[in-house]
Amino acid sequence: MSQIQAVRGTKDILAPDIDLWRIVENISSNLLDLANYKEIRIPIFENSNLYTKSLGQVTDVVQKEMYNFTDRGKRELTLRPEGTAGVARAFIENKLYAHNLPQRVWYCGPMFRYERPQSGRQRQFHQLGLECIGSSDPRVDVEIIVLALDILQSLHITNLELEINSLGNHQVRKIYREVLYNYFSQYKEELDSEAKIRLETNPLRLLDSKDPKLTNLLKEAPSILNYLDQTSSENFQLVCNYLDSISINYVVNPKLVRGLDYYNNTTFEIKSKTLGAQDTICGGGRYDTLIESLGGPPIPAVGWAMGMERLLLSIPDSTFSLSKSLDCYLITIGEEAQTYSLKLVYQLRKLNLKIDFSLTKSNLSKQIKKASQLQALTCLIIGEEELKNQTILCKWLESREQEVINMSEISIIADKIKVYKENVSLNI
């Protein structure tokens, strides 16, 4: 029978990589906690119309990338392609607006988009994201940008570039859309069929086209910043001033329109210059009308999402030492010792030791070799002799020194391992 393989664009996350994932999750959740963001866990699938309504009908995600399916109850469902729409739905459904505003939440989990898999682009990928719902204060825009940079820098990711833009309010976008339509219409013959469709359906999307033939046209394209109304313009100026006040470097990129329809005013992306073509690690912005458009009260919000896979690819090698070692490997010889092994493993684990034990009957030297392969610090051996004397033979694998410890005093093992580890970390 042919072997069943993982679905294209999905990946198993195995050891030792999983240790890095956990480090990233721990560092980021601690920083988010310090900023008073609470974790939210929302379902992985939702009613399809949640996404068609919020992301926009003529976006790449909705038109080409969604994993839609009908369940046995004939419900039209979608595996979530992003987190914001689900968070907004949960916010409304659980009436979180009735509590203190703003509500600050973060999430981390798998997202699903039908895209061409390549480095930093999968069909099941993971996003770490946050939303601050209930304030239009531009300081929040800056606070969340700083938080994203802080997370990335805490993970030793350097060579980051922050790009910001403002999309103004929906009226501004409507006017600008028209301006762009008129501009690109003059050069229709230079547009390929995909660009022609974008021109008719969503001309703003032409701005993030990667087609080299459009480079010059894009350079000359009118800038949205010239069409901002006074409030949007003042708002954007404040965001820039606040960033300046805390010495955060940024580049204003008037072509940064972002892929989804719900954004207004501030949009931003954080790119890593060390990543290849897929260089955006984090993207976000304001979405002041989304909650209302989904049936909630008119409450402004802002948020971002980071691609975990791209983030992990950007962490320099050997930034974090991943613990490969075991504290103890237990070898028991003879049936009576084997029975005792279960109790001892349990007792050692209670002493906070990382322990594994042998399940084979192969000879002692082979078993010790296995302990070395597992990078155990100590090998604990119990044979007939030890059982008779109620002792354990403790062999330090690095120095090959060994000592005899009374079974009633196993905490000595834990103490010695602790001292050993402290010395090792002092020597680094």
Binding site for ligand ATP (CB under 6 A): 82, 113, 115, 120-122, 125, 127, 259, 278, 280-283, 305-307, 309-310
Residue 307 Cβ vs ligand ATP, minimum distance, rounded to whole Å: 2
Minimum Å distance from CB 126 to ligand ATP? 8
- Residue 355 CB coordination number (10 Å): 20
Query: Which residue, 56 or 307, has its beta carbon nearer to ligand ATP?
Result: 307
* Residue type (1 letter), 128: L
Residue whose CB is less far from ligand ATP, 294 or 394: 294
Q: Quick one: 106 or 329, whose CB is closer to ligand ATP? A: 106
**Residue 311 CB, nearest distance to ligand ATP (Å)?**
7
- Give SS3 for 309: helix
Cβ 160 to ligand ATP shortest distance, Å: 13
- Please report how close the Cβ of residue 266 comes to ligand ATP at its closest, in angstroms: 14
Q: What is the number of the residue whose Cβ is closest to ligand ATP?
A: 307
Joined together, the tokens standing for residue 56 give 């926009």
Which of residues 283 and 300 has its CB atom nearest to ligand ATP in the complex? 283
> 155: alpha, beta or left, given left = phi > 0 and alpha = psi -120 to 50?
alpha
Cα–Cα distance, 161 to 172 (Å, whole number): 27
- Beta strands across the sheet bearing 45-47: 45-47, 76-79, 67-70
C-alpha distances out from residue 392 to 344, 403, 420, Å: 10, 8, 19
**Residue 116 or 361 with smaller CB distance to ligand ATP:** 116
State the number of CA atoms in the 13 A half-sphere of 148 facing the CB: 34
Q: How far is the CB of 81 from ligand ATP (least distance, A)?
A: 8
Residue with Cβ nearer ligand ATP (82 or 141): 82
**In the beta sheet, which residues pair with residue 45?**
79
Q: Extract the tokens encoding 2.
A: 């042919």
What is the rounded CA–CA span in Å between residue 191 and residue 211? Answer: 10
Do 129 and 107 touch, CB atoms closer than 8 A? yes
CB 111 within 8 A of CB 125: yes
In the complex, the smallest distance separating the C-beta of residue 60 from ligand ATP, rounded to whole angstroms, is 7
Q: Which residues pair with 104 in a beta bridge?
A: 132
To ligand ATP, the closest distance from the beta carbon of 204 in angstroms equals 13
Q: How far apart are CA 48 and CA 145, in angstroms?
A: 30
- Give 89 or 113: the residue with its C-beta nearer to ligand ATP: 113
CA distance 259 to 412: 60
Nearer to ligand ATP, 259 or 300 (CB): 259
